[in-house]
Amino acid sequence: MNLSTNPIRKVYQGVADRRQMFRLFDRHAQRPNRWQADDSTLYHGEWFEIGKGECTYMLDILPPLWIRSDMFALCEFLTGSITSVFFTLTIDGCVRQFHAYCDLADRTSCERTREAIMVRESRPLKAMTREECLEHIWSITHDDYRGYACEDFAEPLRGERFVLCYGRRPGATRKILDQLTDVEISAKLPVNLRDLAARQVA
């Protein structure tokens, strides 16, 4: 499964509300052979922004494994040594909250993720990379309109993520996420994000 080449990656643009936050917690729920293999690489490094209320809610709902000055980790692990870490960071004078999946077996994971978020969100130009566009599309697409390539795909594509695309012909076509064209990406992004995607193409 070909995810971003960058192990620490933003998977949703904007601030996720509570409903969206819970959906993003398990963006790979449809994966084949769920729980039968080590799925750590699917989640490790994924992050997105949430609101203060959502961050407080998660701190109250489960006892944290640990709390530091600007972050806390949940005591329930998602898979292996991967768990949710919540960050409260001041970026350009604004206090913001983020969720990320970090590997607690790696002592540097939380700090590297924190630094990656700071660098990404401090960019003067908030253009979306192609990888961020694809991850956002995957994050916002309903389960009925996305999935994982199975036996009816060519063997090299099996296990890859696909989304349904609608064109001039009736019906939908399943297209591998990584193979979407710039036009298809623009069509699937919300209108308010298309300009950000266009900036990186230019």
Say if residues 135 and 187 touch (Cβ distance below 8 Å).
no
Q: What is the mean pLDDT of residues 150-163?
A: 85
pLDDT value at residue 201:
46
Is 50 exceeded by the pLDDT of residue 25?
Answer: yes
Pick from 48-62, 141-155, 162-176: least confident: 162-176
What average pLDDT does the structure give for the chain? Answer: 86
The position carrying tokens 């996420």 is 177
Q: What is the mean pLDDT of residues 156-163?
A: 87
Q: Where are the beta strands (DSSP E) in 121-186?
A: 146-148, 161-166, 172-176
Is 50 exceeded by the pLDDT of residue 197?
Answer: yes
pLDDT value at residue 51:
96
Q: What is the mean pLDDT of residues 120-147?
A: 88
pLDDT value at residue 155:
84
Distance CA 178, CA 73 (A): 31
Q: What is the mean pLDDT of residues 88-96?
A: 93
- This prediction's pTM: 0.86
pLDDT value at residue 199:
56
Say if residues 197 and 184 touch (Cβ distance below 8 Å).
no
Is 50 exceeded by the pLDDT of residue 4?
Answer: no
Say if residues 42 and 25 touch (Cβ distance below 8 Å).
no
Which of 116, 113, 139, 128 lies closest to 195, judged by CA?
128
pLDDT value at residue 200:
54
